[in-house]
């Protein structure tokens, strides 16, 4: 309405719009008032776009604080709502189910998904991706100390060689005295004598989830859920090779840049390399 005042009388405009004169002047004054959260909004949007919409208000709050701005998480949540910024990650639901203990190895881990230091507890599993008519399989090892993916292997067939190569890569992270517990589900790869022999060579203890119970390996399942919701589902891939390259980039991002609230707002690598912050 203010833009039309030079062409029409204000009284006529107010009558057409059905506005009181006092309301018009109040709105004019409010529109000229500076947005006290303008700088904070800019930082929130910058962090949100930098992480491609993967951060919700809690992680963005930590990231903004690391940038030197003191802010309450509720303020960030409210401003993100006003800016229509919503995280891509879907909420996870938990369902309890027991299952039976495997014959190859017992469930030594017992859902104790924490570790006092690196290379004490590892978890592993295999997940599948589809691109057109082709499939790609990912087999990673995750350290429960900081949630870091310490080794992984991809292949177009879920052959044992994929798992063997993965665990050999993980062994390179071990010091002479390291003896991590290695937990998996009851997949056929982990029941093979060749896999057990690889663990025995380093005197490592094998642990397996109960049959049909994915929650015994919940941390690994959670990583797969995050990987797919933040990276795979929002994107389109023209080839398996493009997907492989994308997985490599995402895992590097996940390890080095994606902060975790339970790691005090640090990424897995930052947490591992800054013991005083842990």
Pairing of strands 134-143, 121-124: antiparallel
Structure tokens at 79: 């401003």
pLDDT at 144: 97
Q: What is the pLDDT of residue 97?
A: 40
Structure tokens belonging to residue 154 = 């991809």
What pLDDT is stored for residue 100 in this prediction? 46
Q: What does the block give as tokens for 233?
A: 């589902």
CA distance 166 to 187: 15
Token pair of 266 as six digits: 């640090």
pLDDT on residue 203: 95
What local confidence, expressed as pLDDT, does residue 91 receive? 52
What distance lies between CA 258 and its chain's CA centroid?
Answer: 7
CATH placement of domain 121-273: 3.30.420.10
pTM score of the predicted model? 0.74
What's the pLDDT at 162? 97
Tens digits of pLDDT across the chain (278 residues): 555 666 667 777 667 677 777 776 666 766 666 678 888 888 888 888 888 888 888 888 888 888 888 888 889 888 888 888 888 765 554 343 444 445 789 999 999 999 999 999 999 999 999 999 999 999 999 999 999 999 999 999 999 999 999 999 999 999 999 999 999 999 999 999 999 999 999 999 999 998 878 899 999 999 999 999 999 999 999 999 999 999 999 999 999 999 999 999 999 999 999 865 44
258 torsion bin: left (phi>0), alpha (psi -120 to 50), beta (else): beta
Q: Calculate Rg over the CA atoms of the chain.
A: 26
Helix-helix angle 218-227:240-256, to 10 degrees: 120
CA dist., res. 216 & res. 109, Å (int): 8
Tell me what pLDDT residue 245 has. 97
- The whole-number pLDDT of residue 56 equals 86
């Amino acid at each position: 309405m203010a833009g039309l005042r030079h062409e029409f009388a204000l009284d006529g405009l107010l009558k057409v719009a059905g506005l009181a004169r006092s309301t018009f002047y109040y709105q004019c004054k409010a529109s000229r008032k500076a947005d006290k959260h303008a700088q904070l909004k800019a930082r929130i949007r910058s962090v949100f776009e930098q992480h491609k919409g993967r951060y919700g208000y809690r992680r963005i709050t930590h990231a903004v604080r690391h940038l030197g701005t003191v802010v309450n998480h509720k303020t960030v949540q409210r401003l993100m709502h006003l800016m229509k910024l919503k995280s891509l990650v879907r909420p996870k639901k938990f369902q309890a189910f027991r299952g039976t203990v495997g014959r190859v190895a017992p469930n030594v881990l017992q859902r104790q998904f924490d570790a006092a230091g690196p290379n004490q507890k590892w978890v592993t599993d295999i997940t599948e991706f589809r691109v057109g008519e082709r499939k790609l399989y990912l087999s990673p090892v995750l350290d429960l100390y900081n949630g870091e993916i310490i080794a992984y292997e991809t292949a177009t067939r879920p052959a044992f060689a994929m798992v063997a190569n993965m665990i050999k890569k993980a062994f390179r992270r071990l010091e002479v005295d390291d003896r991590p517990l290695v937990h998996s589900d009851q997949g056929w790869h982990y029941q093979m004598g060749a896999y057990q022999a690889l663990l025995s060579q380093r005197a490592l203890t094998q642990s397996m989830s109960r049959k049909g119970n994915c929650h015994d390996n919940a941390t690994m399942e959670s990583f797969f859920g995050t990987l797919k919701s933040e990276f795979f589902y929002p994107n389109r891939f023209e080839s398996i090779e493009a997907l492989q390259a994308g997985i490599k980039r995402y895992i590097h991002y996940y390890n080095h840049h994606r902060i975790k609230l339970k790691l005090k707002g640090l990424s897995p690598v930052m947490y591992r390399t800054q013991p005083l912050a842990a």
